[in-house]
Chain A
Amino acid sequence: MLGGLAWDRRVALWDAAMAAARDTLRTAGLREVSTPTRIAAPAIEPYIEPIAAPPRFLATSPELAMKRLLCRGSGPIFQLAHVFRGGESGARHSEEFHLLEWYRHGEDLRVIEADVEAVVAAVFAAAGAGARAPDRWRRVGFFEVFAETSGVVLRGDEDDRELARVTLAAPDLHAFVFQGREPGPLAASDPEGRALAAWTSVFSAWSDMCFDRWLAAQPGGVHIGEFPAALAALSQCERVGGRALAHRVESHVGGVELANGYRELRDPLEQRRRFTVVNGLRVACERPALPLDEGFLADLADPGLPACTGVALGLDRLIMLASGAAHLSDVTLALGPARAPARG
């Protein structure tokens, strides 16, 4: 699609898509909120770079602000938020994009998976572009797909050395992550930081070398659930059978990652520990440690976060898929700089 959609078509597309997404969540009983874009402290992630807006940051997601509202009795809420992630740009990445994020009471991830399916169907229908919405969804476990596509059987809480050993079953993957590279993050001083670095790198390499190909062969949408505890991010973990798993789900359509959902972590001590581990890894990678959101951590302790699930969905990507485009720039409403005056 050379040059992307015409501008009047894009305006109509965004108008219809945003209305459809909002209608879907309102009808499901959620209320819309709008939290600040300029925030004191982002959710700390190893490889998500906030853009500084001194003395604050532009939000990388509205997650912590929305959870604070939940702590204060907001009930189920959603937000269509502008978010910013430095250094991410490509066909399916942009430094600024829109997250549709929502939270529900209860602990059942299936409920928000059904929400994701409903939002996807509504936006495809609203786009009216003839792109086919996923007519069915499949739910698979992370451990199963990982083993099927790479031959590596995981337990979910291996440290970096164990992970290096078990990934020998997938030689290319192992070599990419563990061999002939500068040690970098794998040289983080604390063992938890090293493990997180190894897991994150294995996850990215596996996505690129194995999972993307598997996904491309799946008709319809895919929810991949029960992540390894080592990749829990802000979700709750649980030991089930021999596995250490996280109640986290990722939703994909047409091979594109659309949404990430959690059974939300509520323990303030565990939350502080996870932020601290990530900060240690960031420092090992020569990136700045980020401030902890003490207001959020205090709210987790008192009044406390009600049992809830939450999910964030990339609306720009969904609109791209629903309009049959392959590049975010084909559908975005961002106009570029002034064009050079036409000659002649």
Chain B
Amino acid sequence: MDVSELRKNAKLQMDGHPYVVTDFQFVKPGKGQGLYKCRLRNMITGATIDRTWRSGERLEAANVESRRMQYLFVDQNGFTFMDNESYEQVAISPELVGDDRYFLLDQLEVDVLFYNNRPVGVTLPSHIVVKISECEPGVKGDSANNPTKMATLETGLKLQVPLFVKEGERVKIDTRTGEYVERVNT
């Protein structure tokens, strides 16, 4: 691809890794050569780098696709997902799944990222609803200074929740920040 095709969310390949453009700026002295200043995120490691390309340069588009799949289980092969249409199953290693493991509920639908036809990561829904498996009892009268308490989710994630949340209740979590959003009444 030509650098002039660079856009936010463009996916390209450098040094054997797929990158997505997260920030993009075009600068050019009137009579000069255009510069494409990009911030890129490594789609496998999540690491962020800055790169500037000049007009006329060529880049390699990354062969990435994402497929909607359902989380099944974890075992010695890693985290296993299934395509609900083809019933194809893939396993992704714990290293690649990283902290996303704390949001992988049974049967959760996620987007699995394939790079050169190999699964390399998952994109979670922005919010999930999870059961609180453990938390301290709320302490009345302390809400002004310490309005939150520690809780543990059924997936093992520890986080701060408001005092009124009780064990066994279901709460909505923002998977991008790992933070409590609201209590879900069901």
Contact at B30–A257, with CB atoms within 8 Å? Answer: yes
CA distance A47 to B29 in the complex (A): 10
CB pair B25 A208 closer than 8 Å: no
User: CB distance A201 to B54 under 8 Å?
Assistant: yes
| The stretch of A21-29, A74-82, A88-96, A329-337 that contacts the partner chain | A88-96
A231 touches B56 (CB 8 A): no
- A32-40, A114-122, A179-187, A265-273: which lies at the interface: A179-187
A23 CB to closest chain B CB, in angstroms? 25
Give the total of B residues in contact with A, Cβ under 8 Å: 19
Q: Is the CB of A182 within 8 A of B57?
A: yes
| C-alpha spacing A45/B31, complex, angstroms | 7
The complex places the Cα of A287 from the Cα of B56 at a distance, in Å, of 9
Q: Is A87 engaged at the interface, CB distance under 8 Å to the other chain?
A: yes
- A189 contacts B by Cβ under 8 Å: no
CB contacts (< 8 Å) of B52 on chain A: these are: 176, 208
B58 at the interface (CB under 8 A from A): yes
A286 contacts which chain B residues (CB < 8 A)? 56
Name the residue of chain B whose CB is nearest to the CB of A199: B32
| A200 interfacial by beta-carbon distance below 8 Å | yes
A87 lies within 8 A of B4 (CB) = yes
* A319 proximal to B (CB < 8 A): no
Of residues 208 through 236 on chain A, the ones whose CB sits less than 8 Å from some CB of chain B are 208, 231, 233
Residues of A within 8 A of B29 (CB): 203-204, 207, 250, 257
User: How far does the Cβ of B40 sit from chain A's closest Cβ, in whole Å?
Assistant: 17
Q: A184: which B residues are within 8 A, CB to CB?
A: 56-57
**Is B28 among interface residues, defined by CB-CB distance under 8 A?**
yes
Are A89 and B26 in contact (CB-based, < 8 A)?
yes
Q: How many residues of A contact B (CB 8 A)?
A: 32
Cα A89 to Cα B4 in complex, Å, equals 10
**Chain B minimum-CB-distance residue to A203:** B32
Partner of A285, one of B4, B25, B35, B56: B56
CA distance A47 to B3 in the complex (A): 14
The docked-state distance in angstroms from the alpha carbon of A176 to that of B28 is: 15
Interface flag for A260 (CB, 8 Å) = yes
By a CB distance below 8 angstroms, the chain A residues around B30 are: 250, 257, 260, 314
Residues of B contacting A92 with CB < 8 Å? Answer: 27
Closest-by-CB residue of B relative to A212 is B27
Give every chain B residue within 8 A of A203 (Cβ-Cβ): 29, 31-33
**Assembled-state Cα–Cα distance A314/B31 (Å):** 13
User: Given that A47-B34, A87-B4, A204-B33 are known contacts, is A185 also in contact with B28, CB under 8 Å in the complex?
Assistant: no
Q: Which residue of B lies closest to A86 (CB)?
A: B4
Kindly report which residue of chain B lies nearest to residue A201, judged by CB atoms: B33
Please name all residues of chain B whose beta carbon is closer than 8 Å to the beta carbon of A176 when the two chains form the complex: 52
How far apart are the CA atoms of A207 and B33 in the complex, in Å?
10
Whole-angstrom distance from the CB of A145 to the nearest CB of chain B? 13
Residue B9 is within 8 A (CB to CB) of chain A in the complex: no
Taking CB atoms and an 8 Å cut-off, the chain A residues in 105-155 that contact chain B are: none
- Select one of B28, B57, B58 contacting A88, CB under 8 A: B28
* Complexed CA–CA distance, A204 and B34 (Å): 7
Q: Given A93-B26, A184-B57, decide whether A87 and B34 contact each other with a Cβ distance below 8 A.
A: yes
CA distance A15 to B109 in the complex (A): 54
With most chain A CB atoms within 10 A of its CB, the pick from B25, B30, B55, B57 is: B30
Chain A residues within an 8 Å CB radius of B32: 47, 200, 203-204, 207
Residue of B with least CB distance to A90: B26
Whether B57 contacts A204 by the Cβ 8 Å rule is no
CB-nearest residue of chain A to B55: A47
Mask: chain A, 285-296; 1 = CB below 8 Å from B; 0 = not: 111000000000
From A87, A201, A260, contact of B31 by CB (8 A):
A260
- Residues in B with CB closer than 8 Å to A45 are 31
Q: Which residues of A contact B25 (CB under 8 A)?
A: 90-91
A5 to B55, CA, bound (A): 32
* B92 CB to nearest chain A CB (Å): 34
| A90 to B54 Cα, complex, angstroms | 15
| Smallest CB-CB A-B distances: 10 pairs | A90-B26, A204-B32, A204-B33, A207-B29, A203-B32, A47-B33, A285-B56, A87-B4, A200-B33, A184-B56
Starting from the known contacts A47-B31, A88-B34, 11 additional A-B residue pairs (CB-CB under 8 Å) come to A48-B31, A93-B28, A184-B57, A203-B31, A204-B34, A208-B27, A250-B29, A250-B30, A257-B30, A260-B31, A287-B56
Residues of B within 8 A of A (CB): 4, 25-35, 37, 52, 54-58
Can you list 24 A-B contacts with CB-CB less than 8 angstroms, sorted by A residue number?
A47-B28, A47-B32, A47-B55, A87-B55, A89-B26, A90-B25, A90-B27, A92-B27, A176-B52, A185-B56, A201-B54, A203-B29, A203-B31, A204-B29, A204-B32, A204-B34, A207-B29, A208-B27, A208-B37, A250-B30, A257-B29, A257-B30, A260-B30, A287-B56
